[in-house]
Structure 1
Amino acid sequence: MVNFEELYEKLADKQFQDTENTDFFYNYFVVQYSVCEEKEVERTLDQFKEALSRPTNYIDVLSLDIFDELCHFLDNRPFFKYDSSLEYLLEKDKTMPDAVTKSITNMANSDEFYEYINTRILEHITRNDDNMRRPYVFFYGIGRIYPYLRTNVLLTAYEKFNRANKYKVILLYPGSQIGNSFSLFDKLEDSHTYRATILLNNPHNV
């Protein structure tokens, strides 16, 4: 079970909010939770965003549901006569599900998708129309985007876009760590998560 109070205390910690002066090796952080906590986790993220935006912290958090972001990415990408690749894929899925799964997997693992995610983050952290700070980006929806995109692939592939001293990625992971690997849903081995630090459970690099 996630200790939400402890997690909030970490996010509200002024030293942890500092993205440039940090004791951590890298800016990827993983919070593990049970899949049965999915709805509670999503509700709590919204509560955290609201609480952190108050004057005591004055932080604006960007929350990215990776699965929803992939859907938006596909929906805004034309494909021949279709205005939306997502619309095309949903139609083709009725007759060619295997081919559609392959196509979605290819797009989820493409540089174009990572560039899209990077653009979303840069637009957020470079805002200058207020006095809020923006040290955190939440990644969630990891369970929903499986099997199209695996966590270790996401973090490794995004590294070339990552700006480690500008923000911290807090990845909500529906599973647990087993040795040097992660187990998605506590059932599916998810390989080695690259340069991530576990929060709450005796944090260490894995």
Structure 2
Amino acid sequence: MASLEERLDIAERLIKSESFRQNKGLGNEVGYYVFDYPAEKELLVRERVAYMKNKNSRGTDGFELVVFDLYDIIIDILEKEGFLEQVYKFEKKKGFDRIIKSVGNLLKINDADSLIVKHIQEHTPEDAVVFLVGIGKCYPILRSHKVLNNLHQTLDRVPVVLFYPGKYDGQELVLFSTIKDDNYYRAFKLVD
């Protein structure tokens, strides 16, 4: 079994290959991938993703690595719409479960026109590889399957890699070693 650092090295090499960026060898499937890792290694993964992004910004790879922190997108949308302070007040009055539903409705998480998906679409250039990070910070407001399913319907021109703090066996995700997400994913495991 490869160490996390070795798996990240492999992932970095993979995204640089032309065949990866052109979705070759996937049987006409859209290139959606999950890179799973132990949740306690979150800071290491964040550092490595930032390193890959910085290294790619020199423009020598032939593509742009675009990193979307899903938590930051949620906060930015709430701030832009003027709802962030209201969310705090609403949570005090109604509790966190109501916030999950209210924020989900505001962001249209369950809809084809999800504001998160729209943001990703609008900020993804043609020759890109997309990294989705921050899913652990969003839980339980945002579930990874919602983003992947909605994005899968609209963004098919570039490969997308979800960095997932938990286990992915090729069919289901387990977050934080205890929370099982029983949804089926049309995503490939990036590195075993």
| TM-score tier (shorter) | 0.7 to 0.9
Q: Which runs of 4+ in 1 moved over 6 A?
A: none
Cα RMSD of the aligned pairs, angstroms, is 2.2
User: Paired residue for 2:57?
Assistant: 53
Distance in 2, matches of 1:57 and 1:120, equals 21
Q: Which runs of 5+ in 2 are unaligned?
A: none
Secondary structure at the residue paired with 1:95? helix
User: Paired residue for 2:118?
Assistant: 118
One-letter amino acid matched to 1:104: V
- Equivalences for residues 38-49 of structure 1 within 5 A: 38-49=42-53
- Aligned residue-pair number: 184
Larger radius of gyration: 1
User: Paired residue for 2:183?
Assistant: 192
User: Paired residue for 1:91?
Assistant: 89
Residue deviations 1:145-187 (CA, integer Å, cap 9, x gap):
111121122211223322x1x2111100111125732111121
| Kept in 2: contact 1:138–1:172 (CA 8 A) | yes
Secondary structure at the residue paired with 1:160? helix
Residue deviations 1:179-198 (CA, integer Å, cap 9, x gap):
73211112111123421010
- Equivalences for residues 173-184 of structure 1 within 5 A: 173-178=164-169, 180-184=171-175
Q: Which runs of 5+ in 1 are unaligned?
A: 78-83, 127-133, 202-206
User: Paired residue for 2:159?
Assistant: 168
User: Paired residue for 2:33?
Assistant: 29
| Kept in 1: contact 2:68–2:132 (CA 8 A) | yes
Instruction: Decide whether aligned partners of structure 1 residues 123 and 64 sit closer, same or farther in structure 2, where only a CA change above 3 A counts.
Output: closer
1:75 aligns with 2:79: yes
- Equivalences for residues 140-151 of structure 1 within 5 A: 140-151=133-144
1:106 aligns with 2:112: no
In terms of mean alpha carbon deviation, does 145-154 or 30-39 score higher?
Answer: 145-154
TM-score, normalised to structure 2's length? 0.84
Instruction: Decide whether aligned partners of structure 1 residues 6 and 144 sit closer, same or farther in structure 2, where only a CA change above 3 A counts.
Output: same
Q: Which has the higher helix share?
A: 2
